[in-house]
Structure 1
Amino acid sequence: MPRNLDLTALRSFVAVADAGGVTRAAGFLNLTQSAVSMQLKRLEESLDASLLDRGGRTIALTPGGEQLLAYARRMLDLNDEVMARMTDSAFEGELVVGVPHDIVYPAIPGILQRFAGEFPRVRVQLFSSYTRDLKRKFEHGECDFILTTEDGMDSGGETLIERPLRWIGARGGSAWKVRPVRLAFCAYCIFRSGSQKALDQAGIDWEIAVESQSDRAIEATVAADLAITAMIEGTEPPYCEAVHHGGQLPELKSQKINMYRSEIAKGEVAEAMASLIRQHYRIGKGGFVGVVPADTARAATPTTL
């Protein structure tokens, strides 16, 4: 059966080692000398080792005591860090983060998981919508952070990464070969007009096969090989893939994933969230961190975590 070290006894041991004696350590700890001595005795008994050399005028550490001291300091530092983080009211509160539907995966789950581990008392509300809607909410002060997918970037934003748009179809599908090309887009999808314009410039006829308010409906239509759509490279849903068209469809322009942070989102908690977002979108590295299994469901409605 595993045995546990007494952290109170370890604290007394470190105090004695630092103070050079039980009397001074007792004063630092606000304990009686006999209480400190008793804790040291219990610690030695639990380890079945002599930790202090009491033969001289001052107390010295035995070789075993010197070995324990380094571990004891680390254990106490970790204990104090946990207590400070879990009980300090500075690490309480709420952050509201807005993310477009199509880039929730693969990065956001990893960001939320890491953040919850570091700040378990902070409540994160994840709001998923379209870039236009997210920017409107941000302007009204309803979000602390938003991510956007845009051609450019407004004042106060920070570009996390720039990735190309790709034509997306069913795995092994042939809908992209049909003329006119059948397209599936949400009504407010920011990629819609650019994709249609690219087809017009290439002289390729197209028609809207599905227009929906739901990303799930679009994904289902594309996965059924009834239409194609456009998404940022690396964000395609399960059962879909980038279309390998060999030049038979026009190339699409790149899109920026930007982060906007509210002026009131300050302090260690907000800075930690900003740092995690940057890490998981790998600025300039051309990839996302936090990839989840392909069969994981995608978020399409506001979620509170």
Structure 2
Amino acid sequence: MLPALNLELIRTFLTVLKEGGFKAGAERLNKTPAAISMQIKRLEEQLNQRLLERSNKGIVLTAAGEVLKEKGERLLSLNYEILGDMRHEELSGRLSFGAPTDYAPTLLKKIMPIFVVEFPKVDPKIILEPSRNLRRRVQSGALDMAIVAREPNTDEGDHLWTEEVAWYGNASDLVGGLNIGVLGVDCILRDRALEMIKAVQSPYTISLESASVASLFEGVEAGFCQAFLPVSVAESELRSSALNSTETMKLEFALIFGKRFEKLDTSDLTARIKRALE
């Protein structure tokens, strides 16, 4: 009897192809490159075929790899379809999901595959807005669920991750006052930045208002302003010395649910999203 193919090995193979290499595939699967290489080797041994060739330009599929790519995708798709059919209470239909604008590239890359792979019956609609807007949409029923930044001293929703926020940049005006950049939208980061600036009791000018964290960081890089930024998007050498560089804030992100989930257990869905984000 011929052995059954290992779906996890096929998933690893397809992920390496999608991400364009062993290192990127390892990051996507939260494994080491060595572990990914070992899984590909095991798959090649089982098939008795070379699937990938490495070159200076990256990875190249062999003829056998081309066959496995096409049929492996169909095999995994059927696997997910069967799982979906067996989960009688699984999510299905249109699902509106919100995420903070500034984290959209990372979140979409990691979360969209969850809907495609684990919830094949779901037709997701994604809304990207500041957290406070998303929270109001969930409360009104316009959104089914959303990732939001928690308000200070609250424990709303299911915790996903914690982000450190700190001051960056050293820009000042001609008379030594602080040149400050802040978000121009209603959000926690704007509130906290303004509170901290006023507490320093130094002259300051808001020289940049932006709708995005990315633009604030560009202002800091250009030496135009100082800004209160998530550590994950900034560079440590730009930490502020004009303001108290030790002054930081812990920004917590959580998954919140609307009326559609009032009578449902959301722990499994939260766990899946949390694993993807890790």
TM-score by length of 2: 0.58
Q: Which residue of 2 aligns with 1:185?
A: 182
Determine if contact 1:107/1:280 at 8 Å carries over to the other structure: no
Amino acid at match of 1:265: F
Determine if contact 1:185/1:212 at 8 Å carries over to the other structure: yes
Query: Alpha carbon RMSD of aligned pairs, Å?
Result: 3.7
Q: Which residue of 2 aligns with 1:244?
A: 239
Q: What does residue range 1-305 of structure 1 map to in structure 2 within 5 Å?
A: 81-85=79-83, 92-149=92-149, 150-153=151-154, 157-169=157-169, 174-175=170-171, 179-187=176-184, 188-214=186-212, 217-234=215-232, 236=233, 240-242=234-236, 243-245=238-240, 248-249=243-244, 251-265=247-261, 273-281=269-277, 289=278
In 2, the alpha carbon distance for the partners of 1:113 and 1:148 equals 20
- In the alignment of these two chains, the number of paired residues is 199
Q: Which residue of 1 aligns with 2:60?
A: none
Aligned to 1:191, what secondary structure does the other structure show?
helix
In 2, the alpha carbon distance for the partners of 1:232 and 1:216 equals 10
Distance apart, 1:226 and its partner CA:
1.3
Cα 1:272–1:96 change in 2 (3 A) is farther
Q: Which residue of 1 aligns with 2:73?
A: none
Q: Which residue of 1 aligns with 2:22?
A: none
Distance apart, 1:118 and its partner CA:
2.0
In 2, the alpha carbon distance for the partners of 1:163 and 1:214 equals 16
Structure 2 gaps, min length 5? 5-75
Distance apart, 1:80 and its partner CA:
7.6
Identity of aligned residues (%): 18
Cα 1:129–1:168 change in 2 (3 A) is farther
Distance apart, 1:199 and its partner CA:
2.6
Report 1 or 2 for greater relative contact order, CA contacts < 8 Å, sequence distance ≥ 6: 1
Q: For 1:260-292, what per-residue CA distance to the aligned partner results, in whole angstroms no more than 9, with x for missing partners?
A: 1224237999665422222245xxxxxxx2xxx
Cα 1:82–1:163 change in 2 (3 A) is closer
Rg comparison, structure with higher value: 1
Distance apart, 1:233 and its partner CA:
2.6
Aligned to 2:223, what secondary structure does the other structure show?
coil
Determine if contact 1:91/1:122 at 8 Å carries over to the other structure: yes
Choose between structure 1 and 2: higher helix proportion. 2
Q: For 1:27-72, what per-residue CA distance to the aligned partner results, in whole angstroms no more than 9, with x for missing partners?
A: xxxxxxxxxxxxxxxxxxxxxxxxxxxxxxxxxxxxxxxxxxxxxx
Distance apart, 1:134 and its partner CA:
0.9
Determine if contact 2:114/2:273 at 8 Å carries over to the other structure: no
Q: For 1:188-220, what per-residue CA distance to the aligned partner results, in whole angstroms no more than 9, with x for missing partners?
A: 232123222223323333211112345554344
TM-score by length of 1: 0.53
